[in-house]
Amino acid sequence: MTDQSKIRNFCIIAHIDHGKSTLADRIIEKTGLLTEREMQAQVLDNMELERERGITIKSQAVRIVYKAEDGEEYIFNLIDTPGHVDFNYEVSRSLAACDGAVLVVDAAQGIEAQTLANVYLALDHDLDVLPVINKIDLPSAEPERVINEIEDVIGIEAQDAPRISAKTGLNVEEVLEQIVQKIPAPQGDPQAPLKALIFDSIYDSYKGVIVFCRVKEGTVRKGTPIRMMATGAEAEVVEVGYFGAGQFIPCEELSAGMVGYLTASIKNVRDTRVGDTVTTQKNPCKEALPGYKKVNPMVYCGMYPADGAKYGDLRDALEKLQLNDASLQYEPETSVALGFGFRCGFLGLLHLEIIQERLEREYNLDLVTTAPGVIYKVYKTNGEMIELTNPSNLPDPSEIEYMEEPMVEAEIMVTTEFIGSIMDLCQERRGQYQGMEYMEETRALLKYKLPLNEIIYDFFDALKSRSRGYASLDYDLCGYERSELVKLDILVNKEEVDALSFIVHTDTAYERGRKMCEKLKEEIPRQLFEIPIQAAIGSKIIARETVKAMRKDVLAKCYGGDISRKKKLLEKQKEGKKRMRQVGNVEIPQKAFMSVLKLDDK
Amino acid sequence: MKRGLEVYIHIPFCVKKCDYCDFLSGPGTLETQKAYFSALRKELQAASDRDCQVDTVFIGGGTPSCAQPEEIAGILEEVRKNFLLSEQAEISMEANPGTLTGEKLAIYRQAGINRLSIGCQSLSDRELKELGRIHTAKEFEESFYLAREAGFTNINVDLMSGIPGQTLQSWEENLLRLMGYRPEHISAYSLIVEEGTPFACRNLDLPDEETERMMYERTGEILGQQGYQQYEISNYAKKGFACRHNIGYWERKEYLGFGLGAASLWNKTRFANTGKMEIYLENSGNLNKIRENKEVLDQKSEMEEFLFLGLRMTKGISEADFEKYFHLSLTQVYKDAIQKHEALGLLKREQGRLFLTRKGISLSNQVFVDFLLDEEWEREQ
């Protein structure tokens, strides 16, 4: 049995691009878990997409053995957390599985919005935070300034913080030593009733669901009948083990303080929700671990196969993805313009983009996605309240008493020179100013309350472009507020295109409508007749553009009897038409449905 | 009865490649030319079939008139030896201003060529320069009269619209000036900027769509008033001078193309010769080695071709001909497409024929696309 005092469970937290994954790789490499040849850059981000985007989507964990300077061998369980605000809940559960956190801060950039958000999250979970200054090899590195910043802003001692370069491996040993010295060993009674926290789970087609857990109390081994306390799912443990590098290594048992996995022939990740507590059926613990909540999607959009015949393939693909992703929701819906598809719910826009990309890449599907929207609460005159995820289902205005939209508390970290333009941006997006704190002379933390629907489209892009890439953002949902909202419809050749309808605030409706029409005019190719494109609220037209009729499309000369070539040109033209959606007698290219997602031109 | 055949002969040589041209052509050394004509003769011998009666021959390029005239004569002799060249055959050759002389023309006449197609493109020196042509309007005039003097009574002139910088007015001027020469046939087509040509890389000041459409309208009007009848999308002729060879393409007559990259339709199969000079020179005597991209036409393809080729002609297609050939009625196969484009005013159906309207000609590709059948068509039958 492993001595609890020789275990260190920790995670690494950082703002995006501050070097979290690189440090994780270096730690794995230094402890000799993988030879250099086996190392593929960023071991823990093993999804192709994760590596490409440089972000962590799924939580990962790895167990490594470190021989410290005191001559003892320590077991490190490094839990890698997702690095995006969409996955805040998953992050909080991963943190709850740890006893300490290594905080990586870029020596040049200093504290950013996510640094703060993550530190606060870690402190909320009573984790000991171990600061590390990374990228000291950069010419612009100012480790002393950043250390002072950490002490002033976060209020944790940072003078001893290792100054490292994860890229070159410089001083990484110091981080390992400090993990041993400064991060507390886990506690918990191996003889107590089982109490294990689920921090992630994945689906494996052979083993069923593989539950990632941190045992807080008690012991679990093969054959233990277990129960998930929140979902009530029961099963018998088939295998327990820990995380090798990219592989699962079975072991005898997992006892209090250990991090590992268990399998129990569970068929669906919906039964093993992140944050739930695993206990035994016979001698259950008295109460579940705190902090469990069922995560609900915040952003919805319609997803349709570009080729209507692929509807079944899309359904199968979503089903498979859901096996691994309990927060993905979908239900069938029908659009006049796009045919059969699904209304899908996501944690945020990044989550949406990831699912979309995975469907396209891993399942080879060509998709048409409609504009993402949030969940509105519609209070009807008859006292009924509906949660609206698809704008097309908005009741007639005469039946609506009022509507509410979800709000977020946003924290934006920005250098002082850009405060003005970022405040303008928040104003434009209907933000309510909540306050501002100066971090140091040149940087401030702006606090705004913003409608979620204003930030899901392109807020982040706008933020970046208006601050030359320096502003960083973090936000948290903070309830619903009453708002003046209307449904904006788009009419193409006088016919309403349901897939283009969306909910918008009265004040911005005109502007949005105008931009939509302009954009669609660019995207819809000229056809054999003139096509009016209109934006309307109810029966009132608020904007209009016209796609002129095509006047000429002729292949003048057919030289030397080369008919095959001519036919190929026609076939190509026909292929192009096939990729369009017929709405009434107008052909709308599929990308037109998606181009309206990015309307902000600033 | 003899099997009717059209013959196309490709001469891939020119003095200098024009800036808009994406054809298999380029300047060739005398040596290459010599080797090429010898290879052509070998190919003709290999395809020899005295049961075929050749009704039209078209020598195209490139610029056939920049080759040695004796070589051209030699090729025609080879055609006569290996096929049955009919007495009334239409024998056309393309020529460019600046490459013609009295001597050359006399040899062409002697060899039996009875129709000359002069690539004039424009009668404005500014526009000619823009296109990268080697000749001036004056040189066109000289060539044209030389041809008349040599006894050519059937001359086509190519004229190009949509040239960078061209206005509606300068196009009309071009047409009116050309009328002064009274050619028997005019091919008026618009410039298409092809990928891979110098034009594709340039920032061209092309006339807008509306201007081009007006140019097209005015072409029909001006030439119509002058007694030229439009018989195809871009071809106009005095009565009795429509090009039989080209009509053969639209009516899907069988033809064999000889020379580099030349296309053929034979036994319901389309194929084309290799475009690689070395391969052609090496193997022209062995037809299987040079013929590429064989496509056997199934009924679906044949129907599609019947429509998109036949409809290029102003007289359109005959419903009876369609039914006779395919044993299916035109309506049965193309009801939706015909209805759609009739309603849009692009197609007209009259006295058993289906043809494009004026408006339909300008938008002909849009119409043709709808006559391509879906993959599943055959299974549905």
Which of A554, A560, A563 minimises the CB distance to B361? A554
Token couple for B51: 């049961």
CB spacing of B8 vs A564 below 8 angstroms: no
Q: Is A549 on the interface with B (CB under 8 A)?
A: no
Instruction: Provide long-range contacts, Cβ within 8 A and 24+ apart, for A452-456.
Output: A452/A298, A452/A299, A452/A374, A452/A405, A452/A406, A452/A407, A452/A408, A452/A477, A453/A373, A453/A374, A453/A405, A453/A406, A453/A503, A454/A429, A454/A430, A455/A408, A455/A410, A455/A429, A456/A299, A456/A348, A456/A349, A456/A372, A456/A373, A456/A374
CB spacing of A564 vs B272 below 8 angstroms: yes
Is the bond into B62 cis (omega within 30 degrees of 0)? yes
Does B84 have pLDDT greater than 90?
yes
Distance CA A35, CA A588 (A): 54
Does B76 have pLDDT greater than 90?
yes
Q: Is B269 on the interface with A (CB under 8 A)?
A: no
Question: Phi/psi at B360 (nearest 5 deg)?
Answer: -65, -35
E strand or H helix that includes residue A505: strand A502-505
Distance CA B307, CA A103 (A): 72
Tell me which residue of A516, A512, A548, A511 sits closest to A532, measured CA to CA. A548
One-letter amino acid of B128: L
Distance CA A596, CA A369 (A): 10
One-letter amino acid of B194: E
Token couple for B93: 């050759």
HEC per residue, B281-329: HHHCCCHHHHEEEEEECCHHHHHHHHHHHHCCECCCEEHHHHHHHHCCC
Q: Tell me the chain B residues in contact with residue A571 when contact means C-beta distances shorter than 8 Å.
A: 372
- Choice among A413-422, A468-477, A586-595, B299-308 with the minimum mean pLDDT: A468-477
CB spacing of A553 vs B304 below 8 angstroms: no
Q: Is B308 on the interface with A (CB under 8 A)?
A: yes
Q: Is A530 on the interface with B (CB under 8 A)?
A: no
Local confidence band at A36 (pLDDT 50, 70, 90 cut-offs): very low
Tell me which residue of B69, B2, B79, B67 sits closest to B43, measured CA to CA. B79
Local confidence band at B116 (pLDDT 50, 70, 90 cut-offs): very high
Per residue in A190-223, is it b (16+ CB within 10 Å) or e — as a string?
beeebbbbbbbbbbeeebbbbbbbbbbbbbbebe
Q: Is A554 on the interface with B (CB under 8 A)?
A: yes
Q: Tell me, what's the pLDDT at A85?
A: 65
CB spacing of B23 vs A564 below 8 angstroms: no
CB B328 within 8 A of CB B311: no
Distance CA B312, CA A64 (A): 75
Distance CA B169, CA B162 (A): 12
How many other CB atoms are found less than 10 A from the CB of residue A585? 14
Which of B209, B233, B369 minimises the CB distance to A570? B369
pLDDT (tens digit per residue) in A42-67: 445 555 555 555 555 555 788 888 98
Which of A529, A556, A573 minimises the CB distance to B369? A573
Token couple for A509: 């409706």
| Structural domains of chain B, ranges and CATH numbers in brackets | 3-249 (3.20.20.70), 317-380 (1.10.10)
Locate the chain B residue with the closest alpha carbon to A572: B369
CB spacing of A559 vs B272 below 8 angstroms: no
Q: Tell me the chain B residues in contact with residue A570 when contact means C-beta distances shorter than 8 Å.
A: 308, 365, 368-369, 372
The span from the first CA to the last CA of chain A, in angstroms, equals: 61
Which of A552, A557, A561 minimises the CB distance to B212? A552
E strand or H helix that includes residue A152: none
Local confidence band at A175 (pLDDT 50, 70, 90 cut-offs): very high
Q: Tell me the chain A residues in contact with residue B234 when contact means C-beta distances shorter than 8 Å.
A: 556-557
Mean pLDDT confidence for A499-516: 90
Longest dimension (CA), chain B: 61
Using only the alpha carbons of chain A, give its radius of gyration: 27
Q: What is the least distance, in Å, from the CA of B150 to any CA of chain A?
A: 26
Q: Tell me, what's the pLDDT at A414?
A: 86
Q: Is A41 on the interface with B (CB under 8 A)?
A: no
Which of A554, A560, A577 minimises the CB distance to B369? A577
The span from the first CA to the last CA of chain B, in angstroms, equals: 34
Q: Tell me, what's the pLDDT at B235?
A: 95
Kindly give, in sequence order, each residue whose CB lies less than 8 Å from that of residue A598, ignoring residues fewer than 6 positions away.
A457, A458, A461
CB spacing of A564 vs B308 below 8 angstroms: no
Average pLDDT, chain A: 86
How many other CB atoms are found less than 10 A from the CB of residue B301? 17
Q: Tell me the chain B residues in contact with residue A559 when contact means C-beta distances shorter than 8 Å.
A: 23, 60
Interface mutation vs chain B, best among A554, A567, A568, most B CBs within 10 Å: A554
The answer, yes or no, to whether ipTM is higher than 0.85 is: yes
Local confidence band at A602 (pLDDT 50, 70, 90 cut-offs): very low
Q: How far is CA A350 from the centre of its chain?
A: 4
Interface mutation vs chain B, best among A557, A566, A568, A574, most B CBs within 10 Å: A557
Count the helices and strands in chain A (H runs, E runs). 14, 33
Q: Tell me, what's the pLDDT at A41?
A: 45
Q: Tell me the chain A residues in contact with residue B295 when contact means C-beta distances shorter than 8 Å.
A: 564
Name the residue with higher pLDDT: B194 or A601.
Answer: B194
Does B190 have pLDDT greater than 60?
yes
Distance CA B40, CA B44 (A): 6
Count the helices and strands in chain B (H runs, E runs). 17, 15
One-letter amino acid of B305: E
Q: Is B295 on the interface with A (CB under 8 A)?
A: yes
Distance CA B114, CA B152 (A): 6
Residues comprising chain A, all counted: 602
* CA angle centred on A466, ends A464 and A467, rounded to 5°: 65
Name the residue with higher pLDDT: B114 or A323.
Answer: B114
Distance CA B190, CA A191 (A): 89
CB spacing of B363 vs A571 below 8 angstroms: no
Window 148-167 of B: residues touching A by CB (8 A cutoff) are: none
